[in-house]
C-alpha cells in the first residue's frame, strides 16, 4: 500500500511537470488535426508507458482469475507462465486522468495497453503531456471483405446421386467436399468441444432454420455496448453480413446447408458500425478479441479487414501490411500468443502491383491464418487479395471455396450463394475446429502448420493462394487409406452408454447400405442411417428417445455383406 501511494505521488508530481515532454502524436492524427477545426472530434488510441506499480502481483492476480478454458488452451503452448503483462488491465489511475481530459473514453485494451477515446485537438494536446502517455494515434476504420450476393437457391437436387457422404449437404456439398469435410463428418467429428468466436457486423436472423441448433455461449455488441448482436431500432450498424459467415461455418439443415463445425460452441461479437460507409473501427475488434480470450475461445473467425478508410482519413498502404503496424494485427498477434487460432479473410482487393500487396489487416499477421478464395474447380478467385507482406512473408496462408458458396439468408428462411473471402474464411475456421477436436492438444501454431502442410501446393507455396486448398482430414492425421475387407461394425463407444453412443462402421466398396437398431427379439427399434456411401470408415451417433434400458443390436446391411454389434443402454 505504501509503495502504491508513493507511486501515485510520483505520478502527480509528474503531472505538475507535464509541459517538459509531450508524448508522440501519430503523423496521420496530426494531419487530421491540422485539417480540422477546434470542435472536430478525433477518434484516437492513447497508449500508456506501463501497467502501473506491482506488475508481478497484478500478473499473479490475472492468472488466478483466468477461466478454466483459457488456462487449458494456453497449456497447449507449453509455456512456463500462463499469464504475463498482456493479461493485466490498463492501470485505473491512468484511465481516470485521461477521462478528466478527453471527451469520451471507449474501449480500454489490456493487450495494447491503451484506451480509445473521442477528443478534440486541444484535449489531445493536453493528453499528450501526461507523463504516463507514450503516444496518441488515430483509430483506423476499414471495410470488411464485402461479399457479392448471388441468387436465392431453389430446393437442393436429389441427394441420391451423392455417394461420398452420410449427411445430405444439399447445394453446400461442393464447398465442404473440396476441403474433405464429409469424411470428417462421416467419422463423427463436428467441432464438438471447440469454442469459436465469430467477430463480424452483427447477426440478424439467428432464428434461421440452419442455425436453430447452435449453442451460443455468449454474445456482445461492441458497437452499441449491449448483449444483443441483432439489429435494434435506433442503434448503429446492420447485421446482414454475420449470418452469411456464421451459417457457412456452423449451419446444419440437411438437404440445404451444412457447415464444417456445426457441433462447436460459439461466441458472437458485433464489432462493426456499418452506418459509416459500411466501415468498422479497430478498437471494437481488439476489445472483442480480448473478450473472446477471457471466455476461453479456441478459435477466432473474422471475415473483416482494415485497409480502405472513410473519406478524410488516410488508408493503410501496402507498406503498412508488415505484421506490426495495424492495431488489429497487433491485437491478433497478442491473441495468437495466448494460444488462440485467429482465422481471417485475406481480402477482396484482387491482384497487386509488383512488389506490393492487397491484404487487409489483420491478415498480415505472422501467426494469423489468412484465407484466400477459390472457385468450385479450385482456381483462384480473381478478387482474392494477394501478398507478400511488406516484410516479405507469403500471404495468404491457405484457401477454400469463396465463389458461389452457399449460406443462409439474413432476411428470410431461404438459402443463397455469395462470393468473397468472407465465405472462404469460415470454411477454414470450421475445418480447424475439426482438426482440434481430433487433436485436442494441438496449439494454434500446430494447427497452422498442419493445415498448411495438408494443402494442395504445400511443396511450392506462393502469394496467390499460399500453401493452397486445405485437406482437413489430412491435417487431422486421419488415415484415409484404411479400407475394410468387408462390411464391418466396430465396437461402439461408450458401451454401455447413456444418453448417446458413437457407432462406427466400414464399407469395403462404394454401395447402398442401411444401419438399424433391433431389440433382443428381432424387432426394429430405429433406422439410424440409410443411403449410398464410399468405401471406408463412417460414423453415426445413436441418441435414443423413449427407448428402455436393455441390450440392443446394431445391424449394418450392405450390398456386399451384413454385420452386427451388441450395445447396452443404461438409464
What is the predicted pLDDT for the residue at 276? Answer: 53
Number of residues that make up the chain: 571
What is 2-51+89-139's CATH topology? Alpha-Beta Plaits (3.30.70)
**Would you list the domain boundaries of the chain?**
2-51+89-139, 167-177+190-430, 488-569
Rounded Cα–Cα distance for residues 347 and 359 (Å): 6
Within a 13 Å sphere around the CA of 441, how many CA atoms are in the beta-carbon half? Answer: 1
Q: What are 59-102's pLDDT values in tens digits?
A: 999 999 999 999 999 999 988 889 999 999 999 999 999 999 88
Residue 2 has pLDDT above 50, yes or no: no
Instruction: Give the mean pLDDT of 212-217.
Output: 96
Residue 7 has pLDDT above 60, yes or no: no
Residue 313 has pLDDT above 70, yes or no: no
Element (H, E) at 298: none
Confidence of residue 37 (pLDDT cuts 50, 70, 90): confident
What average pLDDT does the chain have? Answer: 88
Contact indicator for 536, 545 with CB cutoff of 8 Å: no
Query: What is the CATH number that goes with domain 488-569?
Result: 2.60.40.1930
Lookup result for grid cell 482494415: 306
Residue 277 has pLDDT above 60, yes or no: no
Residue 541 has pLDDT above 80, yes or no: yes
What is the predicted pLDDT for the residue at 32? Answer: 83
Residue 21 has pLDDT above 80, yes or no: no
CATH class of this structure's domain 167-177+190-430: alpha beta
Confidence of residue 459 (pLDDT cuts 50, 70, 90): very high
Rounded Cα–Cα distance for residues 112 and 132 (Å): 14
Q: How far is CA 95 from CA 52, 126, 134, 265, 503, in A?
A: 11, 14, 14, 34, 56
What is the predicted pLDDT for the residue at 85? Answer: 95
Contact indicator for 472, 181 with CB cutoff of 8 Å: yes
* In the chain, % of residues over pLDDT 70: 89
Rounded Cα–Cα distance for residues 403 and 382 (Å): 10
Q: What are 156-201's pLDDT values in tens digits?
A: 555 444 445 568 899 999 999 999 998 888 888 999 999 999 999 8
User: For the chain, what is the largest distance between any 2 Cα atoms, rounded to a whole number of angstroms?
Assistant: 92
Question: Cβ atoms within 10 A of the Cβ of 14, count?
Answer: 14
Confidence of residue 14 (pLDDT cuts 50, 70, 90): very low
Highest mean pLDDT among 121-130, 421-430, 473-482, 488-497: 421-430
Element (H, E) at 86: none
Confidence of residue 306 (pLDDT cuts 50, 70, 90): confident
Question: Cβ atoms within 10 A of the Cβ of 458, count?
Answer: 17
Beta-bridge partners for 266 = 196, 216
Rounded Cα–Cα distance for residues 234 and 226 (Å): 13
Give the pTM.
0.82
What is the predicted pLDDT for the residue at 309? Answer: 58
Amino acid at each position: 500500500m505504501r509503495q502504491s501511494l508513493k507511486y501515485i505521488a510520483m505520478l502527480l508530481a509528474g503531472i505538475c511537470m507535464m509541459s517538459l515532454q509531450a508524448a508522440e502524436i501519430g503523423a496521420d492524427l496530426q494531419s487530421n488535426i491540422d485539417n480540422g477545426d477546434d470542435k472536430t472530434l478525433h477518434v484516437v488510441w492513447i497508449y500508456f508507458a506501463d501497467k502501473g506499480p506491482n506488475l508481478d502481483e497484478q500478473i499473479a492476480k490475472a492468472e488466478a482469475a483466468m477461466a478454466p478454458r483459457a488456462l487449458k488452451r494456453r497449456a497447449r503452448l507449453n509455456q512456463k507462465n500462463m499469464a504475463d503483462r498482456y493479461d493485466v488491465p490498463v492501470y485505473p489511475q491512468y484511465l481516470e486522468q485521461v477521462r478528466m481530459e478527453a471527451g469520451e473514453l471507449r474501449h480500454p485494451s489490456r493487450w495494447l495497453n491503451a484506451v480509445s477515446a473521442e477528443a478534440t485537438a486541444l484535449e489531445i494536446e493536453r493528453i499528450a503531456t501526461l507523463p504516463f502517455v507514450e503516444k496518441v494515434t488515430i483509430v483506423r476504420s476499414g471495410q470488411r471483405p464485402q461479399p457479392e450476393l448471388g441468387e436465392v437457391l431453389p430446393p437442393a437436387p436429389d441427394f441420391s446421386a451423392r455417394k461420398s457422404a452420410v449427411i445430405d449437404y444439399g447445394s453446400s456439398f461442393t464447398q465442404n467436399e473440396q476441403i474433405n469435410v464429409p469424411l470428417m463428418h462421416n467419422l463423427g467429428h463436428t467441432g464438438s468441444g471447440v469454442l469459436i468466436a465469430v467477430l463480424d457486423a452483427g447477426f440478424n436472423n439467428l432464428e434461421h432454420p440452419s442455425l436453430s441448433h447452435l449453442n451460443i455461449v455468449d454474445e456482445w455488441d461492441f458497437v452499441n455496448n449491449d448483449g444483443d448482436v441483432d439489429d435494434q431500432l435506433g442503434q448503429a450498424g446492420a447485421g446482414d453480413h454475420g449470418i452469411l459467415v456464421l451459417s457457412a461455418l456452423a449451419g446444419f439443415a440437411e438437404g440445404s446447408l451444412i457447415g464444417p463445425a456445426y457441433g462447436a460452441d460459439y461466441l458472437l461479437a458485433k464489432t462493426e458500425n456499418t452506418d459509416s460507409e459500411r466501415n468498422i473501427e479497430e478498437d471494437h475488434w481488439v476489445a472483442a478479441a480480448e473478450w473472446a480470450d477471457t471466455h476461453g475461445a479456441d478459435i477466432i473467425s473474422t471475415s473483416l479487414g482494415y485497409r480502405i478508410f472513410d473519406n478524410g482519413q488516410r488508408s493503410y498502404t501496402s507498406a503498412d501490411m508488415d505484421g506490426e503496424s495495424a492495431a488489429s494485427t497487433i491485437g491478433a498477434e497478442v491473441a495468437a500468443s495466448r494460444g488462440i487460432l485467429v482465422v481471417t479473410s485475406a481480402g477482396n482487393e484482387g491482384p497487386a502491383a509488383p512488389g506490393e500487396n492487397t491484404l487487409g489487416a489483420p491478415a498480415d499477421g505472422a501467426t494469423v491464418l489468412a484465407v484466400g478464395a477459390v472457385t468450385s474447380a479450385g482456381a483462384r478467385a480473381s478478387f482474392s487479395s494477394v501478398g507478400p507482406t511488406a516484410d516479405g512473408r507469403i500471404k495468404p496462408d491457405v484457401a477454400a471455396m469463396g465463389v458461389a458458396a452457399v449460406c443462409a439468408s439474413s432476411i428470410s428462411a431461404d438459402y443463397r450463394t455469395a462470393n468473397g473471402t468472407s465465405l472462404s474464411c469460415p470454411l477454414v475456421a470450421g475445418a480447424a475446429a475439426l482438426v482440434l477436436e481430433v487433436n485436442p492438444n494441438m496449439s494454434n501454431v500446430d494447427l497452422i502448420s498442419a493445415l498448411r502442410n495438408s494443402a494442395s501446393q504445400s511443396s511450392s507455396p506462393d502469394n496467390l493462394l499460399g500453401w493452397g486448398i486445405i485437406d482437413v482430414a489430412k491435417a487431422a492425421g486421419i488415415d484415409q487409406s484404411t479400407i475394410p475387407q468387408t462390411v464391418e461394425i466396430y465396437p461402439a463407444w461408450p458401451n454401455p452408454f447413456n444418453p448417446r453412443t458413437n457407432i462406427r462402421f466400414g464399407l469395403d466398396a462404394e454401395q447402398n447400405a442401411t444401419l438399424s437398431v433391433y431389440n433382443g427379439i428381432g424387432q426394429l427399434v430405429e433406422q439410424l442411417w440409410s443411403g449410398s456411401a464410399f468405401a471406408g470408415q463412417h460414423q453415426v451417433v445413436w441418441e435414443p428417445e423413449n427407448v428402455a434400458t436393455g441390450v440392443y443390436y446394431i445391424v449394418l446391411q450392405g450390398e456386399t455383406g451384413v454385420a452386427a454389434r451388441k450395445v447396452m443402454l443404461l438409464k
